[in-house]
Chains A and B, each alone.
Chain A
């Protein structure tokens, strides 16, 4: 469309296929898709699905980087494919694979039930001794108090951070960056008093101490959540608690 300088008319995508009914291992299949300057990798995949091969499976919905469903490995890096422009990967071929470290269900679709269990485990909701009746209005929370946890509340559960964290790959039990960041999000919320419960869970096996601060989680996060930071801050709190409980065993309730 329109007049353009000399650009490749098409781009090649090497896409993971895995059809469990027919094969026991994933393979790569190459497709050609038209190159458009404003296309993202997801557009090319949709083109393939619509016009070339209807049997290619992948997840997507919002196409605006907020629903978190379209995470894949693009040239070996975890990306939201709806925010990964073809123009950044020229001349291709572009390798599109399912998110690393997760079991593959089919083609580009990975299984993420594991994450949902972990999310629930960290109690990502406001814990209170007593709910304030609605008639008494809102909990006051100043912009500064909001600012303390805001960043960690931006997680879209896209799982890119898990696909970037080698510790998760090595130790699938690891609760992992996003879930811990969300735990921290509630810990830091002035309305919540669940920090101790969560710390008990997360200082246990598979919790914060598994993380060796690889830091890749933060680098790939499309929403600047900084899970690596959340975890290190959490460790600091955990250590402080440890000292308190050892030095002042009577000081804890």
Chain B
């Protein structure tokens, strides 16, 4: 693998890592634990939808979902290489990892585009 696209993918990885580090804990805590367990009152469908309709929120959500996916793709790819010594499968793994992230990104974009 030459310098090639790596710097770009690494930038996505870093940006995603930073977003995830800053924002995921609170989102996860609220929507995965606090709301389902009733510790805090969850916002209603309408108010959420209201929020999401705002273009800034949509932009926010786009990055919030897609960049961490690329963060995962990049990091997981190397974890597979190193942790399982799978360097010989490099192309396959790369295609799978970044491919998934790309699909996730497209679906996110499509969904956000179609917010009623």
- Seen from chain A, the residues whose Cβ lies within 8 Å of a Cβ on chain B are 166-167, 170-171, 203-205, 207, 209, 212, 235, 238-239, 241-243, 246
How far, in Å, is B108 (CB) from chain A's closest CB?
23
Does the CB pair A171–B87 fall under 8 Å? Answer: yes
Does the CB pair A170–B87 fall under 8 Å? Answer: yes
Does the CB pair A167–B8 fall under 8 Å? Answer: no
Does the CB pair B10–A235 fall under 8 Å? Answer: yes
Answer whether A204 and B10 are a contact pair too, CB < 8 Å, given A170-B82, A170-B87: no
Does the CB pair B7–A239 fall under 8 Å? Answer: yes
Answer whether A239 and B78 are a contact pair too, CB < 8 Å, given A170-B87, A203-B3, A204-B3: no
Q: A212-B78, A238-B10 are in contact. List 19 more A-B contacts (CB 8 A).
A: A170-B82, A171-B87, A203-B6, A204-B2, A204-B3, A205-B2, A209-B3, A209-B7, A212-B75, A212-B82, A235-B10, A239-B7, A239-B8, A239-B10, A239-B14, A241-B7, A243-B7, A243-B8, A243-B11
**Complex A-B: 8 CB contacts under 8 Å:** A204-B2, A204-B3, A207-B3, A239-B10, A239-B11, A243-B7, A243-B8, A246-B8
Distance in angstroms between the alpha carbons of A198 and B87 in the assembled complex: 26
Q: Which among A171, A203, A209, A238 has the greatest number of chain B C-beta atoms within 10 A?
A: A209
Instruction: Please name all residues of chain B whose beta carbon is closer than 8 Å to the beta carbon of A204 when the two chains form the complex.
Output: 2-3
- Seen from chain B, the residues whose Cβ lies within 8 Å of a Cβ on chain A are 1-3, 6-8, 10-11, 14, 75, 78, 81-82, 85, 87
How far, in Å, is B74 (CB) from chain A's closest CB?
10
Q: How many A-B residue pairs have CB under 8 A?
A: 43
Q: Which residue of A lies closest to B74 (CB)?
A: A212
Distance in angstroms between the alpha carbons of A214 and B115 in the assembled complex: 41
Distance in angstroms between the alpha carbons of A207 and B11 in the assembled complex: 16
Q: Which residue of B lies closest to A211 (CB)?
A: B78
Question: Which 4 pairs show the lowest CB-CB distances between chains A and B?
Answer: A242-B7, A203-B3, A239-B7, A209-B6
Does the CB pair A203–B87 fall under 8 Å? Answer: no
Does the CB pair A238–B3 fall under 8 Å? Answer: yes
Distance in angstroms between the alpha carbons of A166 and B82 in the assembled complex: 8
Does the CB pair A205–B8 fall under 8 Å? Answer: no
Q: CB within 8 A of A167: which of B7, B14, B82?
A: B82
Answer whether A238 and B85 are a contact pair too, CB < 8 Å, given A204-B2, A209-B1, A212-B78: no
Instruction: Please name all residues of chain A whose beta carbon is closer than 8 Å to the beta carbon of B10 when the two chains form the complex.
Output: 209, 235, 238-239
